[in-house]
Amino acid sequence: MSASSIATQSSFAHVPDQNGGMAMNNPTPALSSVPGIAAANSGNGMIGGVPLYTPPQTPAAGSQSAASSVVGVGAKREADPESEVVEKIKGEQFPALIDVTTEDLVYGLETGLFTSVDLITAYIARINEVNATNHAVAEINPDALAIAAQMDAMRANGTVLGPLHGIPILIKNNIATADKMNNTAGSYALVGAKVPRDSAMAAKLRKAGVVILGKTNLSQWANYRSNNSSNGWSATTGQAYAAYYPMEDPSGSSSGSGVASSVGLALATLGTETSGSILSPSDVNNLVGIKPTVGLTSRYLVIPISEHQDTIGPMTRTVKDAAYILQAIAGVDSGDNYTSAFPNNGVLPDYIAACNFSAFNGARIGIARNVIDIWADNSSGPVLTAFDSAIETIRKAGATIVDNANFTGFQAWQKDNNETLVLNADFISNLHTYFTELSYNPSSIETLAELRNYTQSNPLEEYPSRDTAVWDDALTQGWNNTDPRFWAAYQANLYYGGEGGILGALQLNKLDAIILPTQFSPSIPALVGSPVVTVPMGFYPANETVVMNRRGTLVAVGPNIPFGLSFMGARFSEAELIGFAYAYEQRTMHRNDVQPFLAPNIELADVVGK
């Protein structure tokens, strides 16, 4: 992982890993023969069985109008100058898909400026335009266009399921869907596996009218396999790259979700986090990311690491977009008993209304200065300069800044191993549960030991060049979360995250939130399952010295690479954190300061009416 993001070569790393990760040394294996898996470099003009979009060609003089074929629509849709759609779009400016917001899309759909089918068509075209380079998307939903057509028909008949009705979102390739798509965590061990029903996250998205466009690449097994693999690599999809510098480390483990959202391959994406896996990719991909409280979003039928730390959240380009998605996916679910801890009898706050420009008025915002002092390194200068500027912005917006609101147990935690014990124990138990819940398990794997044997014997998994050291450690530990030794390890975690960590700092200093550069923020909140919201804070300067990862194959730090600011709070304080993040975002709009060097060119104007 890059120096500008918290280390999660395995999700339990304690310190930022300047040189983390090994990039893919061999070409991505051809995946075209594997049903439903995207062939990243197959050269066949396809991804997930969906043909590449062909941009319209300017017809020769005197020739018949050349309306282009659109991906998956079937018959050609020719532009009719007298049609209602064409009349409505005259004089209208289509929103740029790299910057489009939920409210932009709602307006366009409500007014007939474009349809959900148009959106899906454009986004598939954008994916196919760049995916052979950035490997952000693992698979396109082959039913996406048909579902979009259903959403359009419902809208035409007066039925709208909510603000996300007919809007495409990509989800991480560890969130199960009971459809034609795979859910593999990037491993061939799960290609072709089936689940008995949608995950809770997929079901909630569909209930909100979302079109699940496809699955995003990830750091294999959510970065819980290897000590020498790279952020963004999976066996089934290859090496993902971020878009702000050539060969940029995308961070992990929600690597493809970060890249895809940043360059506009869907309105937004879902990621998962155990420790850093939403926040870190959001950090380096210039995104807003919400890592919710453990128990706010259901993990049912999401490939797990740890029931005590796993959570699912949105990765978006704006705070309000993240709020819209969190509103749709949060809440009590019978498939995950952790969601029963939600306060207020399960009634959710209005996260969209929490987007308040005046949120800082009267707030007390702390700085855990000792975390910065211990973890800052030679590449941290631009980040700390931007952080100082952010502090002044927040102060001028009406907040009281409380410096040295420190995590009192942080230095001792650097040498503590209990988080590793907890994650290993949970992984042994929780992974077995997921395997046994499958309705079809083609590899007949049910235990971590069996998964390790499969991985080490399958050449496509690139062992031993990508080791299984994390699993080796868990199997050597040898006990799961039902063992009497588990409770003592977990209680130590609760101290370092609680009284000796973020919860203690909040209470002792009477704070509403704590801020840190995002590269320093994930680890302590992870221990107690408390929420964090990251928002773009700045970029490394154009003359920044390039720092490679430890294998010399991915750029960890370099010119124009983004970094973010994190707002951290007590459990179930998402509404307050969203308010602070929105108030900061609206005063700074740092996302617009630098554009990606690699982004697709296809826009709605290339699709609508064609």
CA 16 to chain centre: 19
Active-site residue, selected from the candidate residues 11, 226, 253, 254: 253
Query: Does residue 196 come out as left (phi exceeding 0), alpha (psi in the -120 to 50 range) or beta?
Result: alpha
Residue 172 annotated as catalytic: yes
Residues 156, 158: Cα–Cα separation, whole Å: 5
Residue 277 annotated as catalytic: yes
Beta strand spans in 116-229 (E): 137-140, 168-172, 211-216
Active-site residue, selected from the candidate residues 116, 255, 277, 306: 277
DSSP state of 346: G
Active-site residue, selected from the candidate residues 5, 172, 261, 566: 172
Which positions ≥6 away from 326 have C-beta within 8 Å? 290, 292, 297, 313, 314, 351, 574, 578
Please, are residues 274 and 11 in contact by the beta-carbon 8 Å criterion? yes
Please, are residues 301 and 335 in contact by the beta-carbon 8 Å criterion? yes
> What is the DSSP annotation of 269-281?
EEEEESSSTTHHH
Do strands 137-140 and 46-47 pair parallel, antiparallel, or not at all (unpaired)? unpaired
Q: Which helix (H) or strand (E) holds 314?
A: strand 311-316
Q: Which two tokens stand for residue 191?
A: 């290609």
Please, are residues 411 and 370 in contact by the beta-carbon 8 Å criterion? yes
Strand partners, 515: 367, 567
Kindly tell me the number of DSSP H helices and DSSP E strands found in the chain.
Answer: 19, 17
Please, are residues 233 and 357 in contact by the beta-carbon 8 Å criterion? no
Phi, psi for residue 117 in degrees, rounded to 5: -60, -40
Residue 32 annotated as catalytic: no
Q: Which helix (H) or strand (E) holds 577?
A: helix 574-588
> How far lies 555's CA from each of 4, 200, 222, in Å?
11, 36, 20
Residues 498, 507: Cα–Cα separation, whole Å: 10
Radius of gyration of the chain (CA): 23
Residues 449, 522: Cα–Cα separation, whole Å: 29
**Residues involved in catalysis:** 172, 253, 277
